Amino acid sequence: MMDSAYIANVMERLDHKVTRMIGQIGEKCPHFAGKDGKYDSTGTDWWTSGFWPGLLWLMHDMTGGPQYRDAAWQWDETLERWFSGTSGNIHHDVGFQFLATAVMKHKLTGDEEGQRRGLVAANYLAARYNPAGGFIRAWNGDHYGWAIVDCMMNISLLFWASETTGDPRYRHIAIRHAETTLRHGVREDGSVKHILSFDPSSGEYLENLGGQGAAADSSWSRGTAWALHGFANTYRHSGDERFLDAAKRIAHYFVASLPDDHVPYWDFRLDGFEGEPRDSSAAAIAASGLLEIADAVPGKEKQTYLAAAHRILRSLTEQYATWDAPEHEAILRHGTGHKPQNQFVDGSLIYGDYYYAEAFAKLNGWKHRMY
């Protein structure tokens, strides 16, 4: 277990690191950094566009540093611009984009425009709900009947919208989507499926697809982490024990499947692991989710989940972080985005950086949890 001095030291290192990143990243919308340690820049419609400003708001909340607030302030306005006239491209990941930007901004500063933008995003997400199948549609194009495990994280936006407006319909949609994901997306052993396919007219469940995992029957590690964290969040918002039980089952599978250094390969069910890349982002997401579970359970059970989170975070801190490379624009190395398409493999991922910082913020007493 990490003691308070260790946690405080990591928070201090993050303060120095992220302050340096502000100058290095500048106006970029970062997603992936390869071997050169330089983050690319995506369009603001890309699903990861909220994580860099989210990291800035998190650090502002934890340290009070005005440099974080100043660098983060305009991001929710920037992200909103792609809504106008591009409704055909708006997708299910608006939770990732607006919870840590507009919603966080509103919570920390009272900014009314942040609240408005968060509610606009929640309306777009709610509009993707398919009542016949009880799921939120993923992506666009002709995938009318697809839902994905990642969306378990986005539904926190709907719970927030219900709390903010008093309208229970957002909450109903979030719970129905979680129930559908639990019914069809979580296997008995705690492993999860990435893409669920339904008949969009009847709502009948048809099949699951491999997506970013190695195969339809494999076990994509980041998808497992999304589910672990997402069901824990859903329990926090709903109080429904079914979702806490699901989070625990997935957590036990995730932890039992880890290699010796507690950071997973990109898929838990590969034919062999030699030469396969790790995914530090999956480790960071899962660690933050394990802390959510620990907050929800008592006594010795709490210590089980805390210890697992601490093991993962210590490994990331001591073996995967870039403290020794001040010129590196990211926090964590060895993340893998989409191995089946050989995209964003064995580099740094901005959401890995975000959830690593989020986990340590939770250990340091952070209360303004967006996911």
- List, as residue ranges, the binding site for substrate: 93, 150, 222, 226
Instruction: Specify burial of residue 77 (Cβ count, 10 A radius: 0-12, 13-18, 19+).
Output: middle
How far is Cα 139 from Cα 150, in angstroms, rounded to an integer?
11
Of the candidates 336, 328, 327, 331, the one whose C-alpha atom is nearest the C-alpha of residue 316 is: 331
Q: Indicate the residue type of 58.
A: L
Q: How many CB atoms lie within 10 A of CB 180?
A: 20
Report the largest interatomic distance among the alpha carbons of the chain, rounded to a whole angstrom.
56
The CA distances from residue 263 to 143, 193, 278, in Å, are 33, 20, 7
Strand pairing category for 205-209 and 195-198: antiparallel
Q: Residues 76, 150, 346, 353: which is the catalytic one?
A: 150
Instruction: Sheet containing 205-209: give its strands across.
Output: 146-148, 195-198, 205-209
The CA distance from 78 to 363, in Å, is 31
CA angle, residues 166, 56, 329, in degrees to nearest 5: 145
**Known catalytic residue: 267?**
no
Please say whether the beta carbons of 291 and 359 come within 8 A. yes
List residues forming the annotated binding site. Answer: 93, 150, 222, 226
Which residue out of 76, 93, 346, 353 is catalytically annotated?
93
Question: Is 111 one of the annotated active-site residues of the chain?
Answer: no
**C-beta of residue 55 within 8 angstroms of C-beta of residue 32:** no
Dihedral angle computed from the Cα positions of residues 71, 312, 178 and 95, in that order, rounded to the nearest 10 degrees: 10
Active site residues: 93, 150
